[in-house]
Amino acid sequence: MRGLRRIDAFFAKAEQVLIVIVLTAMLLLAFLQVLLRNAWDFGLPWVDILLRHLVLWLGIMGASLATRMNRHIRIEALTRFLPARHQRLVERGVLLFAAAVSTFLGVAAVDLVRQEQGTGSMAFGPVPTWMLQLVLPVGFAIVAFRFGLQTILPNEPAGGTGGGGTDR
Amino acid sequence: MIWIIVGLGAFTILLGTPLFVGVGGMALALFAAAGISLTAVMLEMYRLVSSPALIALPLFAFAGSLLAESRSATRLVALSQAWFGWLPGGLAIVALTASALFTALSGGSGITILALGGLLYPMLLSDHYSDRFALGLVTTSGSLGILFPPSLPLIVYGLVSQARIDHLFIAGILPGLLLMLLLALYASIVGARARLPQRPWDPRVAWTTLWEAKWEILLLPLILIGIYGGFFTAGEVAAIVAAYVLVVEVFIYRDLSLTRDVPRIMVESTVLVGGILIILGTALGLTSFLIDQQVPMRLLGIFEQTITSRTVFLILLNLFLLVVGCLMDILSATIVFVPLILPVAKVFDVDPIHLGIIFLANLEIGYSTPPIGVNLFLSSLRFNKPIITLYRASVPFLVIYLIALMIITYVPDLSLILLR
C-alpha cells in the first residue's frame, strides 16, 4: 500500500514540475505571438495550434492533481442530510464509480490515439497529432488510479506536496 | 432510455460524484446505448483544442490567482475608501466597489469573500453598520464582479456557446454597472437613515491611494481599450494581462517571489483550470449527443402549451436558473446547460450574447440564495456565524439582485447597446 502511495506522490511531483514548465512556455509563446502579430504583422501559425494543445495538457494534468487533492467540483445536495457513517459508505461507492468511469474514459482515449495514429495526420511541422493526444490516455489512467487508491485507502489526507486549498 | 440514463447520472451527481465523472458517465452510457463507439466521447473532448479562445482560460485564471495572492486586495480597498468613503453609506459603497473590482480581476467568486471579506467586515462594523447589514453585504457582493471583464464565467460562456468573448466582455459592462448602482443606492439609503459617519473627501489621500494601486488600476483600461478598440482578441488580451500581472506583482510591487510563490500559484491555478476543463470536455460529449437527439426541442415540444411567448420563456428560464444557481457553481452550470438552452433560446429570438448575460446574472444570485448557496457557507465559515444568520442577512440584497435581474432580462438593449 505504501508503494502505491509513493507512486501517487511521484506522479504528483512530476505533474507539478510539468505544469510549471508548460504554463511558463505557454505564457512566453502567447506573449511572443502577440508581439509578432501586432508589431510586425507576422504570426506563426503552428504556435496557435501548439498553444491550444498545451491548454489541453495543462487541463488534464490539473484535473489529475485535483483528483489527488480532492478538489473536483461536486454537488453534494443529498449527502448533507445523511448520518456520517452512511456518508462514508456513499463516498466509497462514489469513488469506486469514479474509478470505473475514468477507466472507460481512458480506454476511449487509447482508442482515439490509435485511430489518429492510423490516419497519420500532422498537428504541425514534424509533430503528429496523436503525440499531442497522448496526454488523454495517460491522464485518465492516473485519474483512475487515484480514484481507485482513494477507494481502497479512504479518509487519509491527500496533502503533502502542493498543499490543498486556498488557505490565506 | 435517454431519460433513465440521464436520471441515474443526475442522481449520482447529487450523491456527490465529481461532476465530470457524472457527466462523463452519462455520455459513455448514452453513446453505448445508441451503439456508437465510445471513442466519440474522447473525440468530443479533443474538440476543445479547436476553439481559438481556449487559451484565455488558463492565462486569465493564472493572472487572477496572482492578484488574489498579492496584496492587491488591500490596495483596492484603500483606493475605494479614499474615493467613495465620503458618500452617504460610503463604506458600504467602498465594499461594493472593491469587491466588484477584485472579483472581475481575480476571475472567480469565493476568493473575494475570503480575501476581501476579512478586511471589509470589521471595517463596516467599526463604522457602526449593523452586523446583519455588514454580513449580507460582504456575502452577496462576493460574486458582484462576475459580469465585468475578464471574469472566468464570461470566458467559459463564450467557449461553450461559441459567442464572441470580446463581445461578451463589452455586453456585461452596463448590466454590471446597473447592479452596482442599485446596491450602492440601497447602501446610501441605509447609511443616510442611520446617520452613519461620513469621511471627509481628502484629495491628497485620493491621489496617494490611486498612485499606490496604479499598476492594478491600469489593467482596466488595458482590457477595455484592448478589446473595445478591437486591437486584440480575447486570447491575446489574456496573454498580455497574464504577463503584465506577473511583472507587476513580482518585480514592481514585489508582493510575490518568482521562485517561492509563482510556481505554487501556477500549480494552484492549473488545478482550478483542470477542474473546469475536464467538465467542459466531458460535457461536450454529453450535450452534443443530447442535441443530436433533439432533446432540447423535444422538451420544448412537451411544454409547447405553456411556453407561448418569448416573455414566458424568459420567466421560466429565470426560475430554472435560480434553482440551478443554488445547486451548482456558475461555471459548471454554464457548461452543462448553455448548450441545451441555446437552441431553444434561438427559437424565441434571444440574442446569444444577451442570453449569456442573463445566465451569469441569474446564476450569480443562486450563489447567495438560501438554503445552499455557496457564498452563504463561505461566509459562515469565514466569519464564524451560524448559517441561519446569513440567510436573514442576505435577503434584502437578494431582493435588489432580483430587481436588477428583471431589468437585465427584459431589457436586452442594456446588454446589447454598446455592441451596436
Q: Do B18 and A78 touch (CB under 8 A)?
A: no
Global confidence as pTM: 0.87
Nearest chain B residue (CA) to A162: B264
Determine the pLDDT at residue B249. Answer: 94
Q: Does A142 map to a domain?
A: yes
The ipTM estimated for the assembled molecules is: 0.89
Determine the pLDDT at residue A167. Answer: 31
Determine the pLDDT at residue B414. Answer: 94
Which of B49, B276, B236 minimizes the C-alpha distance to A52? B49
Burial B298-317 (b: 16+ CB within 10 A, else e): eebeeeeeebeeeeebbeeb
Determine the pLDDT at residue B382. Answer: 82
Determine the pLDDT at residue A105. Answer: 97
Average predicted confidence (pLDDT) for chain B: 89
Measured in angstroms, the CA of A1 and the nearest CA of chain B are apart by: 24
Report the share of chain A in percent with pLDDT over 70.
Answer: 90
Q: Does A36 map to a domain?
A: yes
Measured in angstroms, the CA of A6 and the nearest CA of chain B are apart by: 20
Residues on chain A touching B66 (C-beta within 8 angstroms): none
Q: Is B405 on the interface with A (CB under 8 A)?
A: no
Determine the pLDDT at residue B104. Answer: 85
Q: Does A164 map to a domain?
A: no
Q: Does A165 map to a domain?
A: no
Q: Exposed, middle or buried by CB within 10 Å (0-12, 13-18, 19+), for B129?
A: buried
Alpha carbon separation from B232 to B63, B238, B270, B390 (Å, rounded): 17, 9, 24, 42
Instruction: List pLDDT tens digits, range A109-122.
Output: 999 999 999 998 88
Q: Do A109 and B42 touch (CB under 8 A)?
A: yes
Determine the pLDDT at residue A154. Answer: 63
Q: Does A157 map to a domain?
A: no
Q: Show the domain range for A34.
A: 2-152
Please count the structural domains in chain A: 1
Determine the pLDDT at residue A165. Answer: 36
Q: Does A7 map to a domain?
A: yes
Q: Does A99 map to a domain?
A: yes
Out of A61, A75, A79, closest to residue B328 by CB: A75
Q: Does A131 map to a domain?
A: yes
Q: How far apart are CA B191 and CA B378, in angstroms?
A: 26
Determine the pLDDT at residue B110. Answer: 62
Determine the pLDDT at residue B300. Answer: 84
SS3 for B117-136, per residue? HHHHHHHHHHCCCCHHHHHH
Determine the pLDDT at residue B379. Answer: 84
Q: Enter the C-alpha cell of residue B368.
A: 447567495
Instruction: List pLDDT tens digits, range B87-127.
Output: 888 888 888 988 888 888 877 656 777 778 888 888 888 88
Low-confidence ranges of chain B (pLDDT < 70): 108-110, 197
Determine the pLDDT at residue A158. Answer: 44
**With a CB-CB cutoff of 8 Å, which residues 46-85 of chain A face chain B?**
48-49, 51-53, 55-56, 58-67, 69, 71-80
Report the share of chain B in percent with pLDDT over 70.
Answer: 99
